[in-house]
Structure 1
Amino acid sequence: MDYTVMMPAAGSGQRMGAGYNKLFLQLNHKPIIIRTLLVFEEDPACTGIILAVKPDERNEIQSMLDQFGISKIQTIVDGGTERQYSVAACIEAHAENGIVLVHDAARPFLKKSVIANLVQKATKYGAAIAAVQAKDTMKIVTDGVVEETVDREKLWIVQTPQAFRYDVLKEASESANRAGFLGTDEAMLVERLGHPVHIVESTYENVKMTTQEDLAFGEIILNRQQEDIL
């Protein structure tokens, strides 16, 4: 089943401490953003990618796309000050129905099997998100004091991609923006409308490159993948 990807890539990456867009950092001689884009470039089911970027980084990103042969970019739009606004710009640029995936540009270790499962569930139910179960004991704390230990069997750590029928995502985005509601992810906007969101189990390797520690973990994952090939 075919899908389109919407990829917000206009963040600041301050927690990485690089002094510039973390997506330009190299993972084994390729920028993070390119490694993420290659996942979809190499997936026959992906029919196109809509990329939201900072206006002043557009030329540099276009140069990377050309250098690494990324051919599935349908359009590049100006990103907003918040992720939600960047995704809204991608939604406006998309003129078709079908399934759309919203994916963090800083998650380059996504499995194609997870993508396929997301597309299948979103086609059936309208909304599905990638997630992994919490492994640690979780507690609710107020003012430094534990109030309650939460049943971790019911807790999932949410990742991307998040997959939706286009009409579902568009309605949720437009409703939130009209109301001035700012969510932390697209699923939250869909939940706000009362639409059920289904879980697709992902992998713990699908980590977002946010800190220097994540970058080191990414290098380990790449080395492991190369060893598996050999």
Structure 2
Amino acid sequence: MKYYAIIVGGGSGKRMQNAIAKQFLLLHNKPVLMHTISAFISCAHKPEIILVLHPDLHQHWKDLCIKYNFNVPHLLINGGEQRFHSVRNGLMAIKDDGIVAVHDAVRPLVSCKLIAYAYEIAEEKGNAVTCIKPNDSVRKIKSDTESKIINRDELVLIQTPQTFQISQLRKGYQQHYKTKFTDDASVVEKAGFHINLIEGERNNLKITYPEDLELAHFLLK
């Protein structure tokens, strides 16, 4: 069985209040993205890495690889207008069947254990989508002045990796883009497949705001 990982580059640094793209910010003296790729390479499944970045970021990434002596083999692919198009571009680079994990570039603390478990469940059941339960109470905003409590026991927070048999993901990404496609699971579900949820990790945080990066530094100590 062949294994792949499509690492999807994050957005700009606007919410980080930083001009540097989030995946290039330093975490323990090397870019976040290098931690993310290293997590997958450390996995026993040894997936082939497909990195999807906006074309304008390719040269900067190559320069960073030289600067930090980062020699992990990977294929660099152009990102698209939306995340949907970026994942589809990465998927098109895979010519064989097998299992593919799609993962956010800005989730550098994902464990090898979770990656491996997701590959195993996807191989057995077709897909595996990581999630955690919310700790906080949740309310739905109905208007500027009204809100409604939601039973948090009926909710989960979706993470990545989202891992699929490649045949499933290909069928999903044959569809046209829709704004309601918020992740790969929503794409594959729309194509008619059942989504298998597996327990994710609290430490598998997505670096979006400055405090997320501070927490990641703390967790890596």
**TM-score, scaled relative to structure 1:** 0.89
| 1:106-136, Cα deviation, whole Å (9 max, x unpaired) | 0000011111211111112212111111111
Give 1:148-163 correspondences, 5 Å limit.
149-163=149-163
| 1:43-62, Cα deviation, whole Å (9 max, x unpaired) | 23123111111212212212
The answer on 1:72 being equivalent to 2:69 is no
| Displacement of 1:194 | 2.5
Matched with 1:228 is none
Matched with 1:197 is 195
| Structure 2 unaligned blocks of 5 or more | none
Runs (4+) of structure 1 exceeding 6 A deviation are none
Q: Against the structure 1 CA distance between its residues 94 and 2, is the aligned structure 2 distance closer, same or farther, given a 3 Å change threshold?
A: closer
How far apart in 1 are the matches of 2:193 and 2:96? 21
Q: Name whichever structure is richer in helix by fraction.
A: 1
Worse-matched range after superposition: 208-217 or 63-72: 63-72
Matched with 1:33 is 33
Matched with 2:146 is 145
Q: Is contact 1:34–1:64 with CA below 8 Å preserved after alignment?
A: no
Q: Is contact 1:47–1:72 with CA below 8 Å preserved after alignment?
A: no
Q: Identity of aligned pairs, percent?
A: 29
| Displacement of 1:192 | 1.0
How far apart in 1 are the matches of 2:40 and 2:69? 13
Query: Could you say what secondary structure the match of 1:122 adopts?
Result: helix
Matched with 1:164 is 164
The answer on 1:211 being equivalent to 2:178 is no
- Return the letter of the residue paired with 1:202: G
Query: Could you say what secondary structure the match of 2:163 adopts?
Result: strand
| Displacement of 1:63 | 2.8
Q: Against the structure 1 CA distance between its residues 44 and 68, is the aligned structure 2 distance closer, same or farther, given a 3 Å change threshold?
A: farther
| Structure 1 unaligned blocks of 5 or more | 224-230
Matched with 2:11 is 11
Q: Against the structure 1 CA distance between its residues 132 and 81, is the aligned structure 2 distance closer, same or farther, given a 3 Å change threshold?
A: same
How far apart in 1 are the matches of 2:26 and 2:32? 6
Q: Is contact 2:6–2:102 with CA below 8 Å preserved after alignment?
A: yes
- Matched residue count: 218
Q: Against the structure 1 CA distance between its residues 184 and 79, is the aligned structure 2 distance closer, same or farther, given a 3 Å change threshold?
A: same
Q: Is contact 2:5–2:50 with CA below 8 Å preserved after alignment?
A: yes
Q: Against the structure 1 CA distance between its residues 10 and 206, is the aligned structure 2 distance closer, same or farther, given a 3 Å change threshold?
A: closer
Matched with 1:47 is 47
> RMSD over aligned Cα, in angstroms?
1.5
Matched with 2:118 is 118
